[in-house]
Amino acid sequence: MIESRETLQRAFERAFAGLRQGREASVPQLAPRDVGTITNVSNGIATVAGLPGVGFEELLLFPRGVSGIAFNIDDDEVGVVLLGEHWQVNAGDDVERTGRVMDVAVGDELLGRVVDPLGRPLDGGAPLDARERLPIERPAAAIMDRDPVTVPLQTGIKVIDALIPIGRGQRELILGDRQTGKTAIAIDTILNQRGKDVLCVYCAIGQRASVIAKAVAMLQQKGAMDYTVVVVAEGNDPPGLAYIAPYAATSIAEHFMERGRDVLIVYDDLTHHARAYRELSLLLRRPPGREAFPGDIFYIHSRLLERATHLRAELGGGSLTALPVIETEAQNISAYIPTNLISITDGQIYLSPVLFQLGVLPAVDVGMSVSRVGGKAQRAPYRAVAGDLKLAYAQFEELETFARFGARLDEANRKTIAHGRRIRACLQQPEFAPVAVPEQIALLLALTAGLFDDVPLERMTPAEMAVREAAAEIPPDVARRLDEADALSAADRAAIVDIARQALTGIPRAADRPGSSTEPGKVAGEKA
Ligand SMILES: Nc1ncnc2c1ncn2[C@@H]1O[C@H](COP(=O)(O)OP(=O)(O)OP(=O)(O)O)[C@@H](O)[C@H]1O
Ligand SMILES: [Mg+2]
């Protein structure tokens, strides 16, 4: 009896020892996972409960590959902006924290690609295997890390390069009513960067897919995709995606800038961005302000555009030039979003629907457009003529209004009008046809020397082509000086004007036809 009890006890002891060993050997694998639950989903917004430690703008993961950004953080609830297929998530689904903010793939792999703001390819190509990622929201360069804007960014558009010059690192707003050629100016500027060592990022926000496809096809056809990244948030994407698109595109551009490259970024357009942010804010029940936009819309855009800059040489000397686009309604540039952006940027290019209808293309309204820093970066030969040109053009525009009422004009005024019409004709150009610097300077010098004044208006196109072709004859040493900081010497100017005069000898001359000064529509009807 006693013996059997001892055996039993030993058996128990062995069993317990085994259990104890097993318990000590196993180390519990504890991985903290903050998981909350969706309590409510509406258009692109989810409300999540049970995530007390979540940070502002933290990335959250939803089921079925949808992600979101924590936007409204309350005591017991988080308002989340959804970024993927938001119809795939339901109330009751789990939500997981990631502990990091939203980031995007950056690097050379992106050149030539069309991606969405999350870095997913939209061009049917292979997924990106970029090694580097950057947060989409990054602080702008500090004041002491910036250098003044000194190098011109040639757009290839005559009226802009001559009268509203843009410098590398500048922010120049393009604004105008719908269908006035805003996108055309941005795309032309990208096309003109071919062979100029400038990388481009085109960020399309809220546009129709067909319009974007057309722009990408044009970039491909002209060989501009080699140095361009296209970031797209389409019109039917959730508002969250439209909201992050410009920030993601800027991070992609900054990566190049921080490696010492000159980069151009186009936001086409920020009106759609502002609307997406307004939609999100209203859905998040933030109080609406002027024009129903949330109070922080100014900050939203200024913190985006502050990231455009020219870094100082010790930091590589790269630059980021920003061309934000804004659509106005009925030419009202004093609406909330346009005035905000005018005050944030370093100047604006205003496109007038009136000029567009008259066929003056590009429809840049020179009087309403300004470049606040680009003038210092402008090439000296332009600077030498820009002042005269602007003055002559402004005088012409004023007189033209008078002439429209059939006022009798004296000889001097008739001359001013004739000269002004030649300037306007010379500054017109079709889209997707950027003009090289020597050709532009030959044209402008010929124009200010009055060589075109007795060319009949209907012959302005062949006359202009003749001068542009003759620009190839500019002696190489003079052509080299066109790129230098110094103003052209009188001899160089005379040499170029002579070449233009020679080129124009083949063009038949005639005096301005009598009465033409009272027909303002006539110039406009002509395509130069
Ligand atoms: N310089 C130009 N010469 C000839 N046609 C032009 C020129 N610039 C623009 N266009 C034409 O004008 C139309 C409108 O141009 P674009 O799409 O660039 O305008 P937008 O202001 O961007 O329009 P939206 O408001 O729809 O974005 C297009 O059909 C384009 O081909
Ligand atoms: Mg457009």
How far is it, in rounded angstroms, from Cα 11 to Cα 20?
14
User: Mind listing the pLDDT tens digit for each residue in 413-429?
Assistant: 888 889 999 999 999 99
Separation CA 273–CA 289 (nearest Å): 17
- At residue 506, the pLDDT reads 79
Report the separation in Å between the CA atom of 50 and the middle of ligand 2, taken as the mean of its atom positions: 43
Its pTM stands at 0.88
**Ligand 1 atom at shortest distance from the alpha carbon of 180:** 21
Helices (H), 364-510: 374-377, 380-404, 411-427, 437-448, 460-470, 476-481, 490-504
Q: If you take atom 30 of ligand 1, which residue's CA is the nearest one?
A: 181
Give the homologous superfamily in CATH for domain 381-525.
ATP synthase alpha/beta chain, C-terminal domain (1.20.150.20)
Q: What is the mean pLDDT of residues 284-303?
A: 92
Query: Six-digit token pair at 5?
Result: 């009890």
Domain at 35-101, CATH class: mainly beta
pLDDT in tens, 353-410: 999 999 999 999 999 999 999 888 898 888 888 888 989 998 898 888 777 776 677 8
Span 164-196, pLDDT tens digits: 999 999 999 999 999 999 999 999 999 999 999
CATH 1.20.150.20 maps onto the chain at: 381-525
**pLDDT, average across residues 263-272:** 96
Nearest CA to ligand 1 atom 8: 181
Confidence of residue 515 (pLDDT cuts 50, 70, 90): very low
Question: Ligand 1 mean position to 298 CA, how many Å?
Answer: 28
Q: Atom 23 (ligand 1): residue with closest C-alpha?
A: 179
Domain span(s) for CATH 2.40.30.20 in the chain: 35-101
pLDDT at residue number 2: 62
More confident residue, 303 or 483: 303
In the predicted model, what is the mean pLDDT of residues 499-507?
87
**Of the bound ligands, which one is closest to the alpha carbon of residue 178?**
1
DSSP alpha helices (H): ranges in 286-379? Answer: 297-305, 336-344, 353-358, 374-377
- Work out the pLDDT band at 128, boundaries 50, 70, 90: confident
Which atom of ligand 1 is closest in space to residue 178's alpha carbon?
25
- Residues 104-111 have a mean pLDDT of 94
- The number of the ligand 1 atom at minimal distance from the alpha carbon of 179 is 23
**Architecture label for domain 146-376:** 3-Layer(aba) Sandwich (3.40)
Q: Does a cis peptide bond (omega within 30 degrees of 0) precede residue 362? A: yes
- Kindly indicate the confidence band of residue 29, based on its pLDDT and cuts at 50, 70 and 90: confident
The whole-chain average pLDDT of the chain stands at: 89
Of the chain, the percentage scoring pLDDT greater than 70 comes to 95
Instruction: Please report which confidence band the pLDDT of residue 509 belongs to, taking 50, 70 and 90 as the band edges.
Output: confident
Residues of the chain with CATH 3.40.50.300: 146-376
Residue from 194, 372, 414, 459 carrying the catalytic annotation:
372
Q: List all residues whose CB is within 6 A of at least one atom of ligand 1.
A: 176, 178-184, 327, 361-362, 430-431
Mean pLDDT in residue range 41-66: 89
Nearest to 255 by CA among 131, 117, 101, 107: 107
Distance CA 123, CA 161 (A): 33
pLDDT at 524 over 90: no
184 or 527, which is more confident:
184
**Would residue 372 show up in a list of annotated catalytic residues for this protein?**
yes
- pLDDT for residue 118 is more than 80: yes
- Give the model's pLDDT for residue 521: 41
Report the pLDDT value the prediction gives residue 489, as an integer from 0 to 100.
84
